[in-house]
Amino acid sequence: MTVNGSDSVDNVVWHVAPFADRVVAATFQEERDAAVGTLRRQAFGSVYREVVED
């Protein structure tokens, strides 16, 4: 599991990529939409880019 953010906030968004046996998460306090955007970029960069570029 890759977590981007802080342990001292109240919320987390996460994405499971079963084909890669990976979970990517981003924490947030109030700006859920910003966290979702961060999560999408992180998931693409760390999980999906390898699949798309092959």
The Cα 26–Cα 4 span in angstroms is 5
| Structural domain boundaries in the chain | 2-53
Instruction: Determine contact, residues 7/25, Cβ cutoff 8 Å.
Output: no
Q: Using one digit for the tens of pLDDT, what is the confidence trace for 12-54?
A: 999 999 998 988 888 899 999 999 999 999 889 888 988 888 7
**Threshold 0.85, pTM exceeds:** no
How many C-beta atoms lie closer than 10 Å to residue 24's C-beta? 25
- What integer pLDDT is reported at residue 34 of this predicted model? 92
